[in-house]
Structure 1
């Protein structure tokens, strides 16, 4: 898509599924429960957040001891090879990073929840809106996950920003959170990926971001001010820092958390079958 082209639209409220650069209706989005909060929480490194919109939704008690966090959470690091997938279990405190990760590193500074907040599994994606393989995951894998696991109440999804491509990615991420101020995060998330035009090609411009918002019927004065002020820059940076603490080095990177707070790490734009295997195995525990 050319940077100055118009996104397609119709007269109805757009849904999560936006295909072929066109906003198309899909009733399945309306079946998926979404978090009601319009503002994501911001965790700072100097004063940890005591309560976020996501913490109770994930069923995580605020009284979890630090020792439980560091020694009770197990992570399996999935490494893709030419012929097999190797699982290597490590404890969370063995992850090399510039700061100690905590359980809130997974859940703070994120999108609203997509799905049933009581779903037994949580899928967390660290992504970049300009990232080629994030775009690949969105178009090739996410729909099957939504159909088979989110709509059925088995999985809920959180998206966390991890900026790797450049400053335009920051602007895109901020714009998605600006849309969230008007309860339209996931719709805006979708229109970004459905109008993706490569890495560093200039398609993420203020003009285009505003066009996307206008297509979704957002209050343009509020949205434009939010975009120009980079209102959510600190939150995006905090999300990136969370990723670094968890050992994220590239996008997309995923974490699957089960009801027992076991964590599985999936690296890269894996095929649907990889996610299915992890989900089904976790649900059987």
Structure 2
């Protein structure tokens, strides 16, 4: 009976890569769409045919690195996604340090609201922080507190989590009146939805999803997988 209940519980997850191999025993490679590598997926979302997909673009979204870098990495991310946190914690900084001046890293929102209740408001909060020049600080703070925010959601609901988002604005020295008005009004809800729609058009079905000079890389893969893809893009770009 216990085994049956456990199996039913696990079947309820809609994440890919909950059991994945980061041992590095196999040669790293860019994963094909649909692979089981460290990604939270959208339940029931149809996959666009490859020929119908629109290339992912940076749009007007926030980025790190030089605008004219030979390699552009576009990430579609969800603040509540554990695999997105893994990428932030383990991989992003080494990429930026190793390829300083050669990579532009673009962050785009892809909140999977069907399973991540606070992801949409977190994305909007990030946009509100960006309006005051503090996106990356806010980005890091949310990911650092992802577990605590999930616990707060269980205890206090979404309103409690939004209250914490507002406290982060104060912690970062933002104009809290402007930030709170921005978040409460949903000022950037359509901006976030636009990112999501662009991701769907590009073939994104889960987070994190990356496009490295247009080449798709799926999930929070080991650093070596990103290095292989970036090195190939640099070679192709003559960098």
What is the TM-score normalised by the length of structure 1? Answer: 0.62
Distance 1:134 1:222 in 2: 28
Deviation at 1:102, TM superposition (A): 3.6
Distance 2:140 2:31 in 1: 31
What is the TM-score normalised by the length of structure 2? Answer: 0.73
Cα distance change, pair 86–98 in 1 and its aligned pair in 2 (3 A)? closer
Q: Provide, for residues 180-235 of structure 1, a one-character-per-residue CA deviation record: whole Å limited to 9, x for no partner.
A: 11011111111111111178543571211011111110000000000111111101
Instruction: After TM superposition, list the pairs within 5 Å mapping 1:133-148 onto structure 2.
Output: 133-148=83-98
Higher RCO structure (Cα 8 Å, ≥6 apart): 2
Runs (4+) of structure 1 exceeding 3 A deviation are 80-89, 97-103, 198-204
Specify the SS of the correspondent of 1:218. coil
Aligned match of 1:168 = 118
Q: Where do 5+ consecutive residues of structure 2 fail to align?
A: 1-19, 34-46
- Contact residue 75 and residue 107 of structure 2 kept, 8 A: yes
Distance 1:202 1:116 in 2: 38
Task: Tell me, yes or no, if structure 1 residue 249 matches structure 2 residue 194.
Answer: no
Deviation at 1:162, TM superposition (A): 0.8
CA RMSD of aligned residues (A): 2.6
Q: Where do 5+ consecutive residues of structure 1 fail to align?
A: 1-79, 90-94, 258-262
Instruction: After TM superposition, list the pairs within 5 Å mapping 1:76-155 onto structure 2.
Output: 83=26, 85=29, 96=48, 100-103=52-55, 105-108=56-59, 111-149=61-99, 152-155=100-103
